Structure 1
């Protein structure tokens, strides 16, 4: 199986480069090899390499900046996945794409399921939702994996920001009234590889019609917390709770360019039912990240 992997230098892509190795030949161009903003070049690259699976963690992820860079956000989060989906439909390849909890408005008190109505509050969420819809409309065989609050040892993320600020400031103020599930990039990569392995085995054995299971899946670490509690656990696990004090504040006291949902917890029940996969609890995953890097 030939797999085209984008975003290899990002926090999810870096982990996928490792977990996908056992599934076949992985083609993982970096940004110097393939500029994903050049859609004509991307199309030609796909046709030259002829992948049987495209895995696309590459994205525009600057949530606040997207409010002022709408075109750039839509190019990477909507137009690029639409192109990949079109190419996969043409060749009957599988397309794995990552989306976000920010397609929801956060008004629901319980975890969101895949069939809940999307209503993004910001440009980033709008662009990701447009990408989802383009993939579905293409008719390609696809998995859209919505995740949330992604962190890891690489890239720009909340965990690394908190650890950096803890070295610079004696006190931090963190929003305490927005809730979600912190998700380790390695969890995402390992479960993605497991899903693709199951699909490949089923297609070899013709035992399960995974075509029937194409669509959207929620994939996060288990549980629920606030940004404030997440930050407290980061400092505790890394042994920095005594050097930096964290104060909880309401989101209203921390103005940002893009609105965020109050509750963006996602239910993973569909993932467990179809693929038999259960992600670790978010706190256990954070501890493993500290141990393993």
Structure 2
């Protein structure tokens, strides 16, 4: 082999070496980017005694989520949907897997709980003494120490790493788990888990009561029912859709020009709605009122 041929071979080998190195770097970058995305599913926001939030890395969640998704190219939205499929699957016998999926989701939504508190506190001036840190203690009550599932009775249950239910959490249900429990996960649903977290945080009873001391009036169920969007109606039964339609006709008409807090519909309004509905199972004001409350709870 002449020196020219040797040089050509060396250049070819060098060229392939460069391609190999670049491919390796690109692959590593992809893996790093994926791990960065997954970090939101294994870092749980918590609150210190001084009211400041911090992120706590949960090793059990980190190992599990990276084993499943670190080599995939799924978006974080698709990963969250997959986690919801696992957590919400009532037929899944592996309770540990459900608990781990739930833990990752609790980490994921904790960031948006903090964001919702910041957004709510921003409505007040600094002189009023309302900071987002003053709201965090009401909603960042998840220490991430346990795997938790929603049992068939709708209650929060602790699960050990062997998939056995240990005890029932009756009092002080964890807020992140309650958000996941109330979220109706389906492909047709338009509201993301992120937006649902914002909504449930803003509606948190303790936050609403605390802010009411500073003159803040939160939207009541009766106000919410007048602002249901068309795509949200698709989530309701035919009867519920009809109830909302008639409610809007009567309640909106009587609210026209008023700016005060929305009050429950009067007996006269309910009777008028009942007449318009003409549904055999809805003939009494208290029955209609309860149905309206049940619909409002979905939003």
TM-score range, shorter chain: under 0.3
Higher percent of residues as helix? 2
Q: What TM-score do the two structures reach when normalised by structure 2?
A: 0.26
Which is greater in Rg?
2
Q: What TM-score do the two structures reach when normalised by structure 1?
A: 0.27
Higher percent of residues as strand? 1
